Structure 1
């Protein structure tokens, strides 16, 4: 009987210690999470990433406290830790792609290689970022298609952010005949450039001769524009340079086929 009472007392003491650990642990987690929220709020990390980091941190801290409580109650936590580790490894193998996308999502949200509204080029796709989530990123292409890309693809492959910088260079190539006056060609192109207010004057546009091709001279044009003006300026130049060439009798050479007829 005395042994039973002693065991009850010991177990009651263990429960009391467990309750104290639970209360202290709960307060400790609240303080840590509160501190972490304040710390992250001072950074430029996206709110989605902050929420994810807070959730994972809270879960890990509570799991740590639960293991301490179980150990205090005399439970063999080694087997629990082993079981949790085995389950985590199994889940990790089964969800390898999902976890890869998750990790990539966190990297994207923290490092910010692009943000919502940026225009990107990726594996033949070009469009604006609609949303960045933990597992996927959604873009809207110029032909109004909505494309969802796994985040792991975006961190593994090369990606071009067309709007990261304030200005962007537009490179154009034209071919003119060897008989045309080079200075006249350059003057005509510069006049077309001067007529468009979207083309920046600083840095200055440049026009110069490129390669000597089989069918003519290659003329290279480099313009500086704001990223959102890229396509409007591109199509403006393609149309108006042709019109200006025609007005000024500048020849755009193209392949000819000579057919000889034998009347014999």
Structure 2
């Protein structure tokens, strides 16, 4: 006599999940959860990075990034299902091809984008810095830094929009980088018959008495009792001697105003002490009738 045995084991949720997901329920859930966490961390990092750098349209860029990450995550989730796997994988493959085509077609735009990221990370200049591009071809203040371009405000109050790719390849001189003071040359030409010692002393006094004078001497120079204002004769001109003093200022604008004040003050001192500025004279000989 044989007894019939029936397998009464009921299917559990894992068996049911294994029929729905390609790699099984547990593996698929782990992959989906890990990807969701990675995408969330990427979005959080990008969003904070944009806000910290105070970029223009930072909120829009963050929203676009979030939308792209969510779309990729949804496609990956659908690719785990047996029913939707062929469609999702086909879309992902097509997206890769489309992304490659778009990348080739928009390589200049992508170049500006990555150059903008490098400018933001390396910080060769920040908003408000006075910069010179390609040996004085362009001089102005940095007004905005975006992922695509940088806006420079010139002395004429014009706005110059430069692609970041061009900025990244250019030679940039930053007047605000590293040092906090700027050197300015204060030059005058005095006649050969003027008292040079008096002229030099007056130039030193005028510079030292200016309220915005900056003593840029090192500690060793102060200990050696070197004068805070160095006067040198750069050359002999046709009309007299060219005297130069190096004056320091906080920036180029304040340096311009300091030099203007020094010229006014030195003119008064030269007049009071009989020192003459050299200039070209024109002699006329009237014709006899």
TM range (shorter): 0.7 to 0.9
Residues 79-121 of structure 1 deviation map (CA, whole Å, 9 limit, x = unaligned): 7676545433432343233222211211111011111222223
- Whether 1:109 and 2:120 are equivalent positions in the alignment is yes
Alignment correspondent of 2:130: 119
Q: Tell me by how many angstroms 1:251 deviates.
A: 2.5
Trace 1:1-264 onto structure 2 (pairs within 5 A). Answer: 12-14=19-21, 17=24, 21=28, 24-31=31-38, 33-34=40-41, 37=44, 46=53, 48=55, 59=68, 63=72, 66=75, 70=79, 73=82, 75=86, 83-122=94-133, 123-164=136-177, 165-203=179-217, 204-227=228-251, 229-261=254-286, 263=288
Question: Would you say the 8 A contact 1:25–1:65 is kept in 2?
Answer: no
TM-score for the superposition, normalised by structure 1:
0.73
Residues 191-217 of structure 1 deviation map (CA, whole Å, 9 limit, x = unaligned): 211221211123222211111223321
Structure number, greater radius of gyration? 2
Tell me whether 12-21 or 252-261 shows the greater mean CA deviation.
Answer: 12-21
Question: Would you say the 8 A contact 1:33–1:54 is kept in 2?
Answer: no
Question: Would you say the 8 A contact 2:129–2:141 is kept in 1?
Answer: yes
SS at match of 2:180: coil
Question: Would you say the 8 A contact 2:32–2:77 is kept in 1?
Answer: no
Question: Would you say the 8 A contact 1:116–1:132 is kept in 2?
Answer: yes
TM-score for the superposition, normalised by structure 2:
0.68
**C-alpha spacing 1:29/1:235, structure 2 compared with 1 (3 Å):** farther
**C-alpha spacing 1:238/1:95, structure 2 compared with 1 (3 Å):** farther
**C-alpha spacing 1:170/1:87, structure 2 compared with 1 (3 Å):** same
Question: Would you say the 8 A contact 1:211–1:218 is kept in 2?
Answer: yes
The alignment of Structure 1 onto Structure 2 pairs a total of residues equal to: 254
Tell me whether 20-29 or 227-236 shows the greater mean CA deviation.
Answer: 20-29
**C-alpha spacing 1:36/1:71, structure 2 compared with 1 (3 Å):** closer
Question: Would you say the 8 A contact 1:175–1:252 is kept in 2?
Answer: yes
Over aligned residues, Cα RMSD in angstroms? 4.2
Give unpaired runs (5+ residues) of structure 2.
Answer: 1-15, 218-227
Residues 12-31 of structure 1 deviation map (CA, whole Å, 9 limit, x = unaligned): 53468599637733543424
**C-alpha spacing 1:210/1:156, structure 2 compared with 1 (3 Å):** same
**C-alpha spacing 1:223/1:179, structure 2 compared with 1 (3 Å):** same
**C-alpha spacing 1:185/1:54, structure 2 compared with 1 (3 Å):** farther
